[in-house]
Amino acid sequence: MAMSDLTTPKTTSPFLRSSSQLRLSSKLHLSNQFRHLHLLPPPLHATSISKISCSVSQNNQAPVAVQENGSVKTKKECYGVFCLTYDLKAEEETKSWKKMINVAVSGAAGMISNHLLFKLASGSVFGPDQPIALKLLGSERSIQALEGVAMELEDSLFPLLREVDIGTDPYEVFQDVDWALLIGAKPRGPGMERAALLDINGQIFAEQGKALNAVASPNVKVLVVGNPCNTNALICLKNAPNIPAKNFHALTRLDENRAKCQLALKAGVFYDKVSNMTIWGNHSTTQVPDFLNARINGLPVKEVITDHKWLEEGFTESVQKRGGLLIQKWGRSSAASTAVSIVDAIKSLVTPTPEGDWFSTGVYTNGNPYGIAEDLVFSMPCRSKGDGDYELVKDVEIDDYLRNRIAKSEAELLAEKKCVAHLTGDGIAFCDLGPVDTMLPGEV
Ligand code: LMR
């Protein structure tokens, strides 16, 4: 999905110009790969600032923030005016807030992120009492744009947004992150074999998996959006053995949302009446939108929509190829709806799933009840208690139609997995994707 922003780790960055609103962090003096921007808490909400004075050292070394009571609070990467610090527990308005969470976003200067970051910062994803630090990973090429993103975030005066870091090194940007939203990936160029795409992007996700393993919070939740997202998620988790495999997801929520919309249109109801929508398999044109178990107004779809031929052919294909149609219209991949579906995917994990319903997400197959091959990342129906975790829904009916379709998507993922064996620690890669080179939704 995120096509524009390929992360190139471990390279040097151009000099970052400082301005009154945007400063180099002291850390930059140590490593110019990482730029740390501390956002001033917005004036209307930042009464805690008045209690803290900031000592700026003459030689531009990291100063420390001194609180009014004389205690010295060291603040990492404090620089100039951004030495101002805050104690969220000190103010009436913020003392009931939760502990700050760190959220990393790769491909942060791309279109999807441009929609996503402002939703994250606004509190509409993690909640109105959840302060947030955004860690933005980009490429060398995008560093100026990343600064632009950070400046726009500053200018938005989001009370909950307390820090913004930008950088090109995942080992720095992923430090202590609680969530990693991995959007950046290279697009398949004209004439590029899918095998080559798998390899190029796989290397990025292998590197990012290693970095998460080394420096992220041990219970970090990882959502892979960059395509081919299922196999990229598998590569990522294989390179992060210290993080539970269960914590990794591939984004198929966009497909779920598209499927709900198509069913609603056909049934002549608003889309909030469609529930229990599963996307099985790969985020590709082999994905299986499950109309057998989905419901409209609580009734089985097949009872509401009696044109079963349309369900098997028209509906299924329209969901599988929606991304491609959108590219024809827009001239680029979906961005806003992808960002919305990322928000939906996160919210599904941090809020309890409504009784009787479920959501789709690509998860690691490890003891699944549907006979899907183990050791893949496969989209399935899940529920959550709202604690960031999920459980599989285990009693969904599979008929012959579904079984055959699901088997095709499974075969595709098994073939993709063989292509990236060198990146998952499974030996030498052997890539035979069959006579039909299947497509990402946007490639058709
Ligand atoms: C989408 O589903 O819209 C994207 O994954 C399409 C693509 O291939 O970028």
Mean pLDDT of 58-71: 40
Q: Does residue 71 have a pLDDT over 80? A: no
Are 441 and 256 spatial neighbours (Cβ–Cβ below 8 Å)? Answer: no
Q: Quick one: pLDDT at residue 87? A: 84
Asked if residue 138 has its Cβ within 6 Å of ligand 1, the reply is no
Residue with the smallest CA separation from ligand 1 atom 5 is 1
Q: Does residue 50 have a pLDDT over 90? A: no
Q: How confident is the model at residue 299 (pLDDT cuts 50, 70, 90)?
A: very high
The continuous run of DSSP H or E covering 146 comes out as helix 143-155
What secondary structure does DSSP assign to 207-243, as a single string? HHHHHHHHHS-TT-EEEE-SSSHHHHHHHHHHT-TTS
Q: How confident is the model at residue 3 (pLDDT cuts 50, 70, 90)?
A: very low
Report percent pLDDT > 70 for the chain.
79
Q: Quick one: pLDDT at residue 386? A: 98
Question: Known catalytic residues?
Answer: 283
Residue with the smallest CA separation from ligand 1 atom 7 is 442
CA of 442 to the centre of ligand 1 (A): 4
State the CB neighbour count (10 A cutoff) for residue 226. Answer: 30
Are 147 and 166 spatial neighbours (Cβ–Cβ below 8 Å)? Answer: yes
Across the beta sheet with 274-275, what order do the strands follow?
Answer: 274-275, 295-296, 299-300
Are 66 and 72 spatial neighbours (Cβ–Cβ below 8 Å)? Answer: yes
From 261, 320, 327, 342, give the residue whose CB has the most ligand 1 atoms within 8 Å, as the site to mutate.
327
What 8-state DSSP symbol labels residue 443? G
The larger pLDDT score, comparing residue 153 to residue 24, is at: 153
Picking from 21-30, 128-137, 269-278, which range would have the lowest pLDDT averaged per residue? 21-30
Asked if residue 441 has its Cβ within 6 Å of ligand 1, the reply is yes
Asked if residue 341 has its Cβ within 6 Å of ligand 1, the reply is no
Spatial CB neighbours of 19, under 8 Å, sequence gap ≥ 6: none
Q: Does residue 17 have a pLDDT over 70? A: no
Mean pLDDT of 321-340: 90
Asked if residue 443 has its Cβ within 6 Å of ligand 1, the reply is yes
Residue with the smallest CA separation from ligand 1 atom 1 is 323
Q: Does residue 351 have a pLDDT over 70? A: yes
Spatial CB neighbours of 225, under 8 Å, sequence gap ≥ 6: 1, 2, 107, 112, 181, 182, 183, 185, 251, 338, 342
Q: pTM for the full model?
A: 0.85
Burial of 276: CB neighbours in 10 Å, binned 0-12, 13-18, 19+: buried
Q: Quick one: pLDDT at residue 58? A: 30
Asked if residue 226 has its Cβ within 6 Å of ligand 1, the reply is no
Residue with the smallest CA separation from ligand 1 atom 3 is 323
Residue 339 CA, chain-centre distance (Å), reads 9
Q: Quick one: pLDDT at residue 440? A: 72
Report percent pLDDT > 90 for the chain.
67
Which tokens sit at 441?
A: 């939704």
CA of 300 to the centre of ligand 1 (A): 29
Tens-digit pLDDT profile for residues 97-130: 999 999 999 999 999 999 999 999 999 999 999 9
CA of 137 to the centre of ligand 1 (A): 21
Domains of the chain (ranges, CATH numbers): 99-250 (3.40.50.720), 252-423 (3.90.110.10)
| Atom of ligand 1 at shortest range from CA of 187 | 9
Closest C-alpha among 214, 247, 251 to residue 107: 251
Query: Which span out of 24-28, 185-189, 304-308 was modeled with the highest average pLDDT?
Result: 304-308
Q: Quick one: pLDDT at residue 90? A: 85
Q: Does residue 170 have a pLDDT over 70? A: yes
Q: Quick one: pLDDT at residue 1? A: 41
Q: How confident is the model at residue 80 (pLDDT cuts 50, 70, 90)?
A: very low
CA of 227 to the centre of ligand 1 (A): 8
> What's the helix, strand, coil split of the chain in %, to 5?
40, 15, 45
Asked if residue 142 has its Cβ within 6 Å of ligand 1, the reply is no
Instruction: Please report, for residues 26, 48, 86, 115, 198, the alpha-carbon distance to residue 41 in angstroms, rounded to integers and kept in the order given.
Output: 19, 9, 8, 22, 42
Tens-digit pLDDT profile for residues 203-218: 999 999 999 999 999 9
Closest C-alpha among 236, 186, 204 to residue 440: 186
Q: Quick one: pLDDT at residue 328? A: 85
Mean pLDDT of 223-241: 97
Instruction: Please report, for residues 9, 66, 106, 125, 164, the alpha-carbon distance to residue 27 in angstroms, rounded to integers and kept in the order given.
Output: 17, 19, 20, 30, 14
Q: Quick one: pLDDT at residue 77? A: 41
Average pLDDT, the chain: 83
Instruction: Please report, for residues 65, 283, 418, the alpha-carbon distance to residue 344 in angstroms, rounded to integers and kept in the order given.
Output: 38, 16, 31
Q: CA-CA-CA-CA torsion for 222, 322, 266, 257, nearest 10 degrees?
A: 10
